[in-house]
Structure 1
Amino acid sequence: MSKLIAFTYSLLILFQSFNIGLEDLSKFSALLEHADYHKEMYGDNFVQFLAEHYGDAKADHDNEHKEHKDLPFKGAHHFCSHIITPFINTTITYDFTQQDFIKIPFNFHYTESHTNFEKSSVFQPPKHA
């Protein structure tokens, strides 16, 4: 039983990935009618019809008929991509030019400080163990 449910869910996810809505299914009859029109007027078979309306020849043939807006799968929502790309491929270039060495003069001088506010010998650690 669990295999049947998993298979059913897999088919549901597959069908949803095609992004086919009820509006497109209702326009399917218009697709078949327009295919018959192309077969009668131009002698196109169904594969040529699909190539003219959805394939490579779409740009040349798109403005010839006003019925094209009634065909299914013509909405822009079918071409949306909801993939989140968190990684941006940027080109990083490094400039490895050698700079001249600049000698910094040694100006460090340390002197031990001496104050009158030193602690008396009572508060010093023992000197002989």
Structure 2
Amino acid sequence: MNALAGGGSFATMPALIGLGVPSTFANATSNVSLQPGAMASAWTYRHGLEPVSGVGMRTMAGITFVGGLIGSLLLVATSARAFDLIVPWLLLFATLAIAFGTQASLWLRSRVEIGPKSLVAVQAMLGVYGGYFGVGSG
């Protein structure tokens, strides 16, 4: 579930919150605990990775890493109360992304051709989202 869509946090984060862990710590703990599986998935699928719109995978990984650091810093700066108010909306967004991501991707691909600059911007935003919340970012 996590390797394909980043949905493992749908199970781990609520479990941690149910055990009494504050939501910001539960989110961070969930993301860190799922990293070994994410890295194994990336390694397994590495041969299918190729440049997108002329942007190489190392560049994409670097952009995502920097975005992830920014998202992580935003999470640390967010109060637990504010995060508790934001989480339901992030969960809704992640649920929709997982449920309709493939269809949306096909629809967009048939209508829009993304250039390198747009790709870098979207990948950076995805990195920030992944560093901040992570659910559904796969």
Asked whether the two chains share a fold, i.e. TM above 0.5, the reply is no
Higher relative contact order (CA 8 A, sep 6+): 2
TM-score bin (small chain): under 0.3
Query: What is the TM-score of this pair, normalised by structure 1?
Result: 0.23
Indicate the structure (1 or 2) with the bigger Cα radius of gyration: 1
